[in-house]
Amino acid sequence: VGTFLGILLCYGLIGPIASNMAKAADEEHAYLHVLRVLIFSFLKGTAPIMAVEVARRAIPGHVRPTFQELEKACRGGGSESTAPAAEAAPA
């Protein structure tokens, strides 16, 4: 019974928890990598919009915004993502 319970807990509980923790750590690492690329690019003297473009290229492909989406957000001063929330808020 002890061996069965140990194997069951290992594969049924500990394994999935460890897998989720690894995924969260990888996502955090990717986020911090993009911030690092952005900051280093800006510190090298790159124009802010170009530094943002360099950082956009460092974003993993499955979540990377398109160039047009980035331009729209930059031209709107970042208000594009907050506009629906502001409209939904009661006055």
Q: Is residue 30 one of the residues assigned to a domain? A: yes
Residue 24 has a pLDDT of 97
Q: Is the dihedral of CA 66, 69, 70, 71 positive or negative?
A: positive
Q: Is residue 15 one of the residues assigned to a domain? A: yes
pTM of model > 0.85? no
Q: Is residue 59 one of the residues assigned to a domain? A: yes
Q: Is residue 81 one of the residues assigned to a domain? A: no
The tally of CA atoms less than 13 A away on the side-chain side of residue 33 is: 11
Domain count, the chain: 1
Q: Is residue 18 one of the residues assigned to a domain? A: yes
Q: Is residue 32 one of the residues assigned to a domain? A: yes
Query: Which stretches in the chain have pLDDT values below 50?
Result: 91
Domain housing 7: 2-75
Residue 84 has a pLDDT of 53
